[in-house]
Structure formats: structure tokens, C-alpha cells
């Protein structure tokens, strides 16, 4: 199922020809693949070799994606001065005696 979904179906249908040609070949499987799929030279059975799967697969889909040129410029932030306002708030002197009971330094036993 996976092979049919990810490859050209016509190439998968050529697999029986591949097996038949492999059985006629005098040598092992690795030699057959190396001879027919790695810079194959024209020989007496050239026409049959060209019918093997994935020798000349058709280009079904070709995607050409190009990323746009992205450039950006970071401007130096402008200095904003905030005027100091005179506050009318005055901090009152609260007794901190109640805080001494809650917040205490850690003790080691």
C-alpha cells in the first residue's frame, strides 16, 4: 500500500518484468542491480533494460519553492523622558512588630 501511495503506479506494475529479467541474468541480485541501475551501458538487451522499473521514471510532480527575500531594519528606540511628578503621598511609619512573627530566618536543627 505504501509503495503504491508514494511512487508512480506504472513503475510498480513493472516489477514482474524486473523479476523475470533477474531470473534470466547470470549472477546474483546485487550484481544485477549494480549493472542495470548504476550507469548502465547499452548492450544486447538494452530495449528490455529500459522497461525495468525506475530506470526512466516519469516526472509526475515537480515543486519549485523559493523563499522570499526578507529584510528588516531595527530602528534605535527614541528616548522618551517622563517628567517627574511631585507626589502628595507620604509614607506613614507603621510598626513592623507583626512582621517579625511571620517572616523569620531559616533555622537549622
Q: With H, G, I as helix, E, B as strand and everything else as coil, classify residue 72.
A: coil
Segment 39-59 shows an average pLDDT of 79
> Which pLDDT value is given to residue 96?
61
Q: CA dihedral in degrees (51, 55, 58, 59; nearest 10)?
A: 180
pTM of the full structure: 0.44
Q: Which helix (H) or strand (E) holds 46?
A: helix 46-49
Q: Which of 60, 43, 47, 48 is nearest to 9 (CA)?
A: 60
**What percent of the chain has pLDDT above 70?**
70
DSSP-derived secondary structure letter, 75:
P
Residues in the chain: 109
Residue 93 has pLDDT above 80, yes or no: no
Amino acid at each position: 500500500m505504501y509503495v503504491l501511495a508514494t511512487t508512480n503506479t506504472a513503475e510498480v506494475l513493472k516489477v514482474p518484468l524486473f523479476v523475470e529479467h533477474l531470473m534470466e541474468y547470470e549472477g546474483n541480485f546485487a550484481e544485477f542491480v549494480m549493472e542495470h541501475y548504476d550507469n548502465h551501458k547499452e548492450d544486447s538487451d538494452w530495449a528490455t533494460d529500459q522497461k525495468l522499473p525506475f530506470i526512466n521514471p516519469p516526472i509526475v510532480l515537480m515543486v519549485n519553492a523559493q523563499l522570499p527575500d526578507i529584510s528588516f531594519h531595527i530602528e534605535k528606540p527614541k528616548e522618551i523622558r517622563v517628567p517627574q511628578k511631585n507626589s502628595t503621598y507620604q509614607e506613614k511609619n507603621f510598626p513592623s512588630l507583626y512582621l517579625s512573627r511571620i517572616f523569620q530566618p531559616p533555622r537549622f536543627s
